Structure formats: structure tokens, C-alpha cells
Amino acid sequence: MGYLLVLFPVVVAAVAFMVPSGRVRPWFIPFGAAVHLAMSAYAIVSPPPDFAPGSAGWLNLDPLGKLFLGFVSLLFFLLSLYAPGYFAVRAERSNRILCSNLLISLAMMTLMILSQHIGLLWVAMEAITLFSAPSIYFNHNARSLEATWKFLLVSSVGIALALLGSLFLAYASLKSGIVSTLLFPDLVRDAPRFSAEWLHAAFILLLVGYGTKMGLAPMHTWKPDAYGEAPGLVGSLLAGGVTSCAFLALTRVYQICRGTGEAEFAREAMIALGLLSMAFAAAFMVRQKDFKRMLAYSSVEHMGILVIGLAVGGLAAYGAFLHMINNGLTKGVLFLSAGNIHRAYGSKSIEQVSGAFRRVPYSATLFVAGFLAITGSPPFGPFVSEFTIVRSALDAGYYGTVAVFILLLGVVFIGMGTTVLAVAQGEPPADPPPTPFRERFGTVAPVVLFLALVVLLGLYIPPELDKLLREAVAFLEARP
């Protein structure tokens, strides 16, 4: 089943690549996404024999994998509903490469989620990087080329550090006389016997390496350019899917440290990096004139929130996993609506974009709603997950962390609100003249669906999701 989940999107991508019609090709994305979502749901609800608990294979679906696979597959399906409408608007450009790359990226994200071997996980993460890069270059201009190279260069440094960290982790076991298979269940079981010094070094390298892929500060420098120049569809997948896969990698590494007496060391490093990321995001979001780059800094902020919740543990870890879902869905609202506004004005600068309520009323309304959601306003999902993290951190005695956390949330709200309201309010500028873009059902309805799920998770957490979240936390914190 694991191989089928990975190979099916690759096959659909190959077929889509060979289809000559640029109008037909985008429909392979929702087809592949729908089948992949159905297979993922089946694997989660009724795990096949090769996904049996305790399986020693390189591919398996443990409680962490179930949560992440379900979310990534759902996210990709929702994004796929936007793809045909988007490519119809962008008919001037060939979509052959982007359509195929999106489906292959789904396959590589699935491979990473299912990976039980630290080396295979690293390979899958690198493959995600390589297949994401051409998608960023879809607009074929100088700025998108620069963004693509920056994404590749910074990500390559991060993934190289992650490889070095993996080697250090392997040596931590060999140093103690343990013959390890580098499978995660074995690493978690044997972790208490690892060399503490080498384990410290391995964790720092892996935190920086996979933190680069998440976009944690100060390794976030690829994000503003990549998110700013990529199509909204690609930006949503990067902000909600790729970063979530990197978060899973970091979670698995942290799980190894939890099995030793070095958990406090890892916890302090993660909280410090999380607060630093929130501080960087707050500083660069104030007076931000490019509303798509603003979304990149918002992603940096929320990656910081994820690692803080993971580090605090317990109910905060539950909140972090829930926040991963809320963040990904809300980024879908923001990036897709921002993409529509960008197409309507031909610009991302608030100096040339204003009066979006009049020019593209549906997209502007969704953009403002997404802003309220991502900044933790009720009744949206991020409010629930952020409140869960804060309450758990207070119960655990992290008073200073919570104070800084809330202060930075306030700064982000003010900075982001200034840019969003400048885009939405006022009168549309007469110069430059408006583009021919008009809102369509295919470019608005998927965004509404994203927002509906964000509101739902702010009012009600389905029992099935609650079960997946609790099982993921229990699996993370279980003693070997």
C-alpha cells in the first residue's frame, strides 16, 4: 500500500506530462488528488498488513504518519480544485511542467511521511526541494529566477546540514557500541544508550537543517522571495505541505531525544528558535509593502509557534499538531485570494494595490477573513490551537515564554493588519489600468471551502481528528 500511495501520483504526473492539451492537463491534478485522498483515508482507517504496528519495513504508517498523511493529502486535494480555474486564467503559459511537478511533489511528500528510515526521509526531503524549485519559476521572469536559485541554494545548505546531523546521529549509536539500522523505532528504543555529546551535535544540526526547510529564523531567507514570486497555488503548497513535512522530520528527531536524558537540551533550543522566528516575522511584517512577501513572514511566525508547542509537550504538542492543520488551511485562504488580487492588479505592492473590495470583492473579503484567522482571532481554527499552546505553556510554568509569545502576536496583528487593510480598502488606482482578470467560480469556490474548514475547526474538532491528534501525541511522548 505504501508503494502505491507514492507511485500513483507519479504515474498520473507522467500521463499529464504527455497530454498535449494545456486545457485538459490541469484536470489530472484533481483526479490524482482525489484518488490519493481516498487511498490515504483507507490506509488511515483500515491499515493494510504492510502498515501493521511494529512493522520493520522502511515504509510504515505510524500515528504521526497517519495525522500528517491525512492532512497533506486533504490539503493537496483542496488546492487541486483551484488548479483548473487558475490555469485557465494563465493560458498564456505552458502548464506542462507545473502540473507534473505538483503531482510528483505530492508523491515525494507522501514518501517522506511514510519513511521510517532516517536516510530515506532525507532523500525524500531533498526530492521535494528539487521538484518544488521549477514550480517557483513558473512566471519565467528575472525575479522568479532569483527566487528559485535562492530557494535551491539555501535549501541545499539546510539539507546538507541535515545529512551531517543524520551521520552524527548514527555515530552517536556506534560510539556507544550499538549496531543501529537507522530505522526510527530502533533509534527511539536505543536512544538512552547513545553518546550524549554526539547526540547534542546531531540534534543541533538536524534542527538547523530541517528548520531551514521549515523556514525558521534565521534560516528563513528563501521564503520571502519564493513565496512572493511563486503562483499562489505553489505558495500554498510550500507553506502548508512542504513545511509540514519538514516539521514531521523535526518531530521524529525530537522523539529520539525524548527517549534520553537530553530532552531538556532539545526543548530549550526549540523554544529559543521558535521565539526568534516569531520576533523576525514581527519585525519584518511591520510596514511591509509587498502583501505576498508578508505571507512569507507570517509562515516564519507560525513555524516558530509549531516548534514552541512541540517543545512544551503534552497538551501544547496537541495544540501544535492542530495548529499545523489550521495554519495550512488558512494559508490556503490567504495565498489563493492574494493570487487573485495579484492577477487583478498586476502588482503585489500596496503602493499600486488598493480598493480590492471594489475590484475583486470576493477575493478581498476572503483575504481579510484569512488575515483575521491567521492572527488568532476567534472563531477561527488558529485561535483554538494557539490558545491551547498558551494554556499548556502556562500550566507548565513557561511564563516568560508566554509573555513574549503574546507580545509578538500583538505586533504581528498590527503589522499584518496595516498591509491587509491597505490592500482591501480605498479606491482602486487608475494608474496602472486594471487587468482583464475577473473573479470566477473556479478561482473563488475552493478558497471559500478552505475558509469553511478553518471556521469549522474553530467551532468544532471532529472526533476522528481528535483521535488522530491524541494518538500522535501519545506516540511522540511514549517511553521506549
Q: Could you read off the pLDDT of 85-99 as tens digits, one per residue?
A: 999 999 888 999 999
* Separation of CA 122 from chain center: 17
The dihedral through the CA atoms of 109, 113, 117, 118 has a sign that is positive
Mean pLDDT throughout 71-93?
95
Question: Nearest 5°: phi and psi at 286?
Answer: -70, 130
- Spatial CB neighbours of 376, under 8 Å, sequence gap ≥ 6: 382, 383, 386, 387, 409, 413
Nearest to 99 by CA among 138, 142, 50, 52: 138
Q: What pLDDT score does 128 carry? A: 94
Question: pLDDT tens across 100-112, in order?
Answer: 999 999 999 999 9
Q: What is the mean pLDDT of the chain?
A: 93
* Per-residue pLDDT tens digits for 130-145: 999 999 999 999 999 9
Q: Which pLDDT band holds residue 21 (cuts at 50, 70, 90)?
A: very high
Check residue 480 and give its pLDDT.
Answer: 54
pLDDT of residue 334: 97
Q: Which residues of 434-464 are buried (b: 16+ CB within 10 A; e: fewer)?
A: eeebebeebbbebbebbbebbbebbeebeee
297: closest CA among 198, 186, 221?
A: 221
Tell whether the model's pLDDT for residue 340 goes beyond 60: yes
d(CA 477, CA 480): 9
Can you give the pLDDT at residue 55? 62
pLDDT tens digits, 427-478: 888 777 778 888 999 999 999 999 999 999 999 999 999 999 999 999 998 7
- In the predicted structure, residue 192 carries a pLDDT above the cut 70: yes
Decide: helix, strand or coil at residue 249. Answer: helix
Q: Which residue has the higher pLDDT, 357 or 429?
A: 357
**Residue 80's pLDDT band (cuts 50, 70, 90):** very high
Cell readout for 152 is: 535551491
Q: Are 5 and 48 in contact (CB under 8 A)?
A: no
| DSSP assignments along 27-66, one per residue | GHHHHHHHHHHHHHHHHHHS--GGG-TT--SSB---HHHH
In this predicted structure, the answer to whether residue 56 has a pLDDT above a threshold of 80 is no
